[in-house]
């Protein structure tokens, strides 16, 4: 198997002309442990998998998550989270326009999602992108004044600001929706700078999607600090772009990458299957 490492701005690993259905458990684990964590993501090109074959491959890399909101679920396979703007047999599939903001999946949960895996099933005719930011690299470049204000501080994360309104929510007061979401996923806190449990790299772990405040600061100070940090993170020179091709499967480490949906023609049909994976390792090393 030939692996091209660092093929996008020194980040990522490309595995081409390999049928992932033939991977054994040990081969998949070796890729995860020895390539994925070092290179942030692995792109498998030219795949033609059925839904069950996709799930089988995912299980070789980790334990699939069943997402906490069932409106995202595949109707027959709840471990598949669907981002889609189409219906099949008059049945709506998943949720449209997901992830158009910088985030790391499930940072708003006590146990964040280790890995994320995407496999497009319907690609638009126009350009379709997913964007990434390498957070260990951003931490190295972060102005010292901002870094000193984050060192040793916890950040609070919550998901209710990104709630997608469902048909059954129509007519409900907004405060009821906010309260219900807060009960489903109450705010949690994680270190604003984490250490990878395997590579020992330190990484900035805040994101505009879910990070609400930094411990130890008044509300206005925390908001101003986060605004400055988010503006630095999102600088164009930090952004890595993946343009999707038919047959791509992409898996990445949420400890070290932020991501967001990029260019996508809203009027064209599209559907992506996501599987979130727990890899059996702590999400980050404990504080000293």
Show pLDDT as tens, one digit a residue, over the chain (288 residues): 789 988 888 899 999 989 999 999 999 999 999 999 999 999 999 999 999 999 999 999 999 999 988 888 999 999 999 999 888 777 778 888 888 899 999 999 999 999 999 999 999 988 899 999 999 999 999 999 999 999 999 999 998 666 556 666 677 777 776 677 777 778 999 999 999 999 999 999 999 999 999 999 999 999 999 999 999 999 999 999 999 999 999 999 999 999 999 877 778 999 999 999 999 999 999 975
Count of CB atoms within 10 A of residue 149's CB?
A: 19
Q: CA angle at residue 256 from 181 to 199, to 5 degrees?
A: 130
Residue with tokens 């299980």, as numbered in its chain: 59
DSSP state, residue 68: S
| pLDDT score at 114 | 98
Of 39, 262, 223, the C-alpha closest to 137 is 39
What phi and psi, each to the nearest 5 degrees, are found at residue 130?
-125, 135
Buried b (16+ CB within 10 A) or exposed e, 13-22: bbbeebebee
Q: What is the largest CA-CA distance in the chain?
A: 55
Dihedral (Cα; 131, 137, 141, 142), 10-degree rounding:
70
| pLDDT score at 47 | 97
DSSP state, residue 95: B
| pLDDT score at 92 | 78
What whole-number distance in Å separates Cα of residue 252 and Cα of residue 116?
Answer: 6
| pLDDT score at 262 | 87
Of 243, 205, 270, the C-alpha closest to 43 is 243
Tokens of 165: 């309104």
Q: What ranges make up the beta strands (E) of 40-138?
A: 41-44, 63-64, 81-84, 87-88, 91-92, 115-122, 129-134
| pLDDT score at 152 | 96
Residue with tokens 């040793």, as numbered in its chain: 152
Q: Are 187 and 108 in contact (CB under 8 A)?
A: yes
Return the sign of the alpha-carbon dihedral for residues 41, 161, 73, 68. positive
- CATH number assigned to the domain covering 3-278: 3.60.130.10
Say how many CA atoms lie within 13 Å of 68 toward its Cβ: 19
């Amino acid at each position: 198997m030939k692996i091209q490492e660092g093929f996008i701005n020194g980040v990522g690993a490309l595995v081409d002309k390999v049928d992932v259905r033939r991977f054994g458990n040990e081969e998949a684990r070796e890729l995860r442990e020895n390539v994925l964590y070092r290179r942030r993501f692995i792109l498998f090109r030219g795949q033609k998998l059925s839904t069950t074959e996709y799930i089988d491959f995912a299980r070789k890399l980790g334990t699939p998550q069943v997402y906490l909101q069932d409106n995202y679920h595949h109707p027959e396979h709840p471990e598949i989270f669907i981002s889609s703007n189409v219906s099949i047999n008059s049945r709506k599939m998943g949720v449209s326009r997901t992830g158009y903001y910088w985030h790391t999946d499930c940072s708003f949960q006590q146990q964040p999602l280790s890995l994320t895996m995407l496999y497009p099933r319907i690609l638009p005719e126009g350009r379709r992108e997913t964007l990434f930011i390498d957070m260990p690299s951003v931490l190295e470049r972060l102005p010292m004044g901002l870094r000193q204000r984050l060192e040793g501080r916890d950040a609070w994360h919550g998901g209710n600001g990104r709630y997608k309104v469902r048909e059954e929510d129509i007519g409900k007061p907004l405060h009821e929706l906010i309260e219900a979401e807060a009960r489903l996923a109450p705010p949690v806190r994680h270190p604003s700078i984490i250490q990878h449990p395997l590579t020992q790299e330190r990484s900035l772990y805040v994101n505009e999607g879910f990070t609400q405040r930094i411990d130890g600061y008044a509300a206005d100070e925390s908001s101003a600090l986060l605004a400055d940090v988010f503006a630095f993170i999102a600088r164009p020179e930090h952004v890595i772009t993946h343009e999707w091709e038919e047959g791509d499967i992409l898996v990445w480490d949420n400890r070290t990458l932020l991501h967001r949906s990029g260019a996508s023609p809203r009027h064209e049909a599209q559907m992506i299957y996501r599987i979130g994976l727990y890899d059996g390792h702590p999400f980050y090393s404990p504080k000293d």
